[in-house]
Homo-oligomer: A and B are copies of this chain.
């Protein structure tokens, strides 16, 4: 048999639901718009199948189809997605605080939560005169490099930490921590200090200072400032970020009764 396929293999007999979800999976920040055949190729499903499923998704609003025939994620899906618990309570409560932080510093302000072994950026205020950051809202990133990542990892369940420490740590710059033992010491220091500094560990021009956001059960999110590394004084910024973290923590604890 010719072995020239590259995309996801189509397991015969996969459930309809998984097909629908596979279609959504095909979209990514790098490929936010796909033609029918691209979708078919990426999901490994026959073209007519993709056609029918996609048509249903378009009818509901989960996908949109542009004049160019390409499919995109639909506004309706965004709408439903914004009901995600962290999208809701946390984001709404944190945004005013992030604005304050931005107004004081005019630097990039970021808010992230951990999901599995990665972090997801929930919100970001991108200072127009600040260093450009390559992350985007809704984007994922490794836990071991960014400021928010270090905070989230430092306060994650032990098993999560072990899994991250066991896997190879990707290197982004020459300052990225890739030695598990050094990372372990770094995490201990983050817990002790109550904040994390990532100095040029993601890009060589930026430095970030991050602080945890806590509920009684533990740390649910992290907030950070990203600044140019050569005009940065992490020690001066830390109290600001920590204070912001505490304000959001307090707001969260007051607001949410039962569920996070």
Question: Which residues from chain A sit less than 8 Å from chain B, CB to CB?
Answer: 15-18, 20-21, 24-25, 27-29, 32-33, 53, 56-57, 60-62, 64, 66, 68, 70, 72-88, 91-92, 95-96, 99, 102-103, 113, 115, 120, 125-128, 136-138, 140, 258-259
Is A15 within 8 A of B56, CB to CB? yes
Chain B residues near A17: list those with CB within 8 A: 16, 20, 53, 56-57
CB distance from A22 to the nearest CB of B (A): 9
Of the residues B21, B102, B138, contact of A83 by C-beta under 8 Å: B138
Chain B residues near A62: list those with CB within 8 A: 21
Chain B residues near A66: list those with CB within 8 A: 259
Give the copy number: 2
Of the residues B20, B75, B136, contact of A115 by C-beta under 8 Å: B75
| Docked complex Cα distance between A258 and B88 (Å) | 32
Chain B residues near A87: list those with CB within 8 A: 73, 75, 78, 138
Of the residues B33, B60, B77, B125, contact of A99 by C-beta under 8 Å: B125
Chain B residues near A21: list those with CB within 8 A: 56-57, 60, 62
| Docked complex Cα distance between A88 and B258 (Å) | 32
Give the 9 A-B CB pairs with smallest separation, nearest first: A81-B81, A82-B138, A78-B81, A78-B84, A16-B16, A17-B56, A73-B83, A73-B84, A77-B81
CB distance from A218 to the nearest CB of B (A): 13
Is A24 within 8 A of B80, CB to CB? yes
Given contacts A73-B84, A83-B138, A95-B125, 4 further A-B contacts (CB under 8 A): A17-B20, A21-B60, A76-B115, A96-B127
